[in-house]
Amino acid sequence: MSVGLFLATRNHDVQYVSQLKPGASDPEVLALAHSNRAIIVSKNKRHFHKLNPRRPAAQRLHAGCLYLCCEESQMRRRVEQCVDLVEHEWQRRQGTGDVRVLIEVRLDLVRIHR
């Protein structure tokens, strides 16, 4: 089962960029997530972190990101282990001026960028 399928079992609305906008560039994915108030789940931290920093300039788009920084074979298991923390952080951010969650999941740690 993929990370997306697991998140769907937790009643999250999971949509795949490959189906919504095949071949989309990273800025297009960010814009799509922003317009849908979505969280990007990606193993591409280097690119999305540059496009979507915690303290964005006024002209930048704001989307949440869940960065999966581990081997692909470990991703689902790691998301299962930390999904309660991710959901809690998302809920906590909803009462703030910046509702995005930026969370990095590694094999040995979970880092919340606040």
- Residue 84 to residues 88, 107, 110, 112: CA-CA distances in angstroms? 6, 16, 12, 13
Q: Residue 94 is which amino acid?
A: Q
Ranges in the chain, pLDDT < 50: none
Query: What's 36's DSSP letter?
Result: T
Per-residue model confidence (pLDDT) at position 26: 84
Domain ranges for the chain: 3-112
How far apart are alpha carbons 2 and 56 in whole angstroms? 31
Per DSSP, the three-state class of 29 is helix
pLDDT, one tens digit per residue, over 82-95 is 999 999 998 988 87
Tokens encoding 52: 């979507």
